[in-house]
Amino acid sequence: MLRAALRPFSTASRQSLRIGLIPADGIGREVIPAAKEAIIALGSDIPKPEFVDLIAGWECFTRTGVALPEETVDALKNDCDCALFGSVSSPSRRVVGYSSPIVALRKEMDLYANIRPVMSVYPSQKPSIDLIVVRENTECLYVKQETQQQGEHGREARATRLITERASRRIGQMAFELAHARPRKHLTIIHKSNVLSVTDGLFRETVRGVPLLPEVNGKYNDVEIAEQLVDSAVYRLFREPEVFDVMVAPNLYGDILSDAAAALVGSLGLIPSVNAGDNFVMGEPVHGSAPDIAGKGIANPLASIRSAALMLRRLGYIKGADRLDLAVDQVIREGEILTPDLHGKSTTQEVLAAVLKNL
């Protein structure tokens, strides 16, 4: 799975691989330890893993008043080669002093690309789905600049949406690189510039201009470029997902599209992602903290294990990443040991054991 999803930014020889572990909230505390066990099981296919336990999240905030401790950021910057993040239980209401730690981490570590592959594994799933959502990770509405005031007709709330040429160019280059490495070499730019002509217009124009950059020097001339308005993209995603290969989108659209795409392949519990920058990578399963099942031992660990594979692939450890992906594929195809989100009856630990057996 995902053989050409990511190209490594580092193939440096390491004696050890220091991995920051941030389980955060809810089922993150169950699935990140499972991913850790899968990484350990790779043995000599990766440098000896050393794990750095770190904290962040809503529960961290309720205990300490801080959702993302400075110690966690410092450890990632100074002591870790990469990281795995679990899930966060950000409240839907406004809480004074609280801000999502994963959003903050992406900015602190300059992890400007959230890369979310979606692939069907069940033989019965037709048409075969094999796409990647490339989501800009640092701006759009997620800059979290919101205000509220009393207006003539009651309270008024406003949010600033930021789209910059620099961020759009960086995510565009990442998306073109991914599309160039895949067999179809097809990239769809997602936007709503027919309404948001200034912000989405800048995103669209900048991404389309990436192949013309002097430093690119014609490298992406083989990539076919398409465009899709975000609302019709959701429609086509459900009606004819086979038309998509690599999709690149501003932050909010990418978040929604990748969650929607997960429904096509069975469960959010299968969808991995990495938050990638030029010098650091952090794996993160797409699912949330799932408070309704947290602590019950039935959370699906496969998205976290796949996220670990994506992280390793980004670091250049292709053999280890392939082994993890193939082991997960086999568990899904056999269909005997699956968690309830995939209509199974197995526990988190039973699914992990099946993956380890396949390794």
The residues annotated with a catalytic role in the active site are: 142, 192, 231, 255, 259
Number of H helices, E strands in the chain: 11, 12
Cα torsion angle, 117, 60, 98, 70, sign: negative
Task: Give the C-alpha separation, 195 to 25, whole Å.
Answer: 37
Across the beta sheet with 224-229, the strand order is 48-53, 16-24, 82-87, 281-283, 274-276, 113-119, 130-136, 246-249, 186-191, 224-229
Task: Give the C-alpha separation, 208 to 100, whole Å.
Answer: 31
> Token pair 């870790």 is at which residue?
80
- Extract the tokens encoding 337: 């040991």
What count of other Cβ atoms lies within 10 Å of the Cβ of residue 356?
15
Q: Do 78 and 69 touch, CB atoms closer than 8 A?
A: no
Q: Do 331 and 302 touch, CB atoms closer than 8 A?
A: yes
Rg (CA), the chain: 20
